[in-house]
Amino acid sequence: MTSTERPTGVSLRPRPALRSMAGRYGLVVLLALVFVAFASLWDYPATFRSTENLQQVLRSQAIPAILALAIILPLVCGQFDLTVGSVAGISAITVAGAIADHHKSLAFAVVVALGIGLAIGLVNGLLIAYVGVNSLIATLGVGIAVSGLVEWYADGRSILIDTASGLARTGSGSWFGVPSLVYFVAGFALVFYYGLQHTPLGRHLHSIGSNATAAHLVGVDVRRLTLLAFVMSALTSAVAGVLYLGSIGSASASGGGIPLTLPALVAAFLGATTIKPGRFNVLGTLVAVYLLAFALSGLSLNGVESWVQNVVTGTGLVMAVTLSTLTARERRPG
């Protein structure tokens, strides 16, 4: 056998199993590397790995994590929901206004906020599933309109709530040394994971996202389930808005909209490149949320200017959509 010949059956290509492992857990490994780098190799490692900083990152990313989970519901069935940040914003301003301006109980305020979220979800779902409006256009327009209503009501104010109230204690407190908001993230994650992976509803939503026409032909009620996905997304976003109000103690016109929607969208698409590559999934979404969070926290501690956050987020969105598209294309047969 000459030096240029290779033994029969030997391939220089990566083994399929190794490629699969790299695709499934590459983002998890990257999260670990980012954490180790900032915790040991860069400036201020002790501050980065301190309990205070870890708790701050977990607390500050709880609302983006819940909104990212909310946004994957329409994404799973092939639609976009760009209203999650706006719904969270109007939910927060509704609760704050009902309590501070109109002296209503917290329970009443939360019910009203959830009702508004439900109404927005119905509008989105009806426009997209039954009228046939493009989801990007419909939800962008509804989101802008909702943000306008918030701006009108707030009228330039920051509406404060009592920092000693139960909502404020829940939003900013800790249970057993862990920020209380983390338990809400875990609760939503468990419910969404089980619902999307182990129930007929989840399987039907995935089938709609894969091929809505084929799903309809086998008896799936595509329009009704698409409507349901938007309603669940809006209700989840409304809950996130209530918790957001509790965490910061005030609501204003600047507290929602695109600044909350964009990170959720980035996390959802980036999460679709890991754990279950090519599919929007709960665990991958959470990995993406905290990868971005710890990266931005480390950069901030090391003196990187705040505008870098927008660069990282925007670049992350483009890379996430690109990787998600390439991964999904690779998974298609033929």
In tens digits, the chain (334 residues) has pLDDT values of 454 454 454 455 556 666 666 667 778 888 888 888 888 876 667 788 888 888 888 998 999 999 999 999 999 999 999 999 999 999 999 999 999 999 999 999 999 999 999 999 999 999 999 999 999 999 999 999 999 999 999 988 899 888 768 888 888 888 888 899 999 999 999 999 999 999 999 999 999 999 999 999 999 999 999 999 999 999 999 999 999 999 988 888 888 888 889 889 989 988 888 888 888 999 999 999 998 888 888 888 777 776 777 777 777 777 767 766 676 666 555 4
What is the pTM (predicted TM-score) of this model? 0.88
Residue 170 has which token pair? 């829940």
Question: What pLDDT sits at residue 74?
Answer: 96
Would 234 be classed as within a structural domain?
yes
Would 55 be classed as within a structural domain?
yes
Residue 63 contacts residue 88 (beta carbons within 8 Å) = yes
Domain containing 68 equals 51-256
Would 99 be classed as within a structural domain?
yes
Question: What pLDDT sits at residue 145?
Answer: 96
Would 34 be classed as within a structural domain?
no
Domain count, the chain: 1
Would 266 be classed as within a structural domain?
no
Would 213 be classed as within a structural domain?
yes
Would 281 be classed as within a structural domain?
no
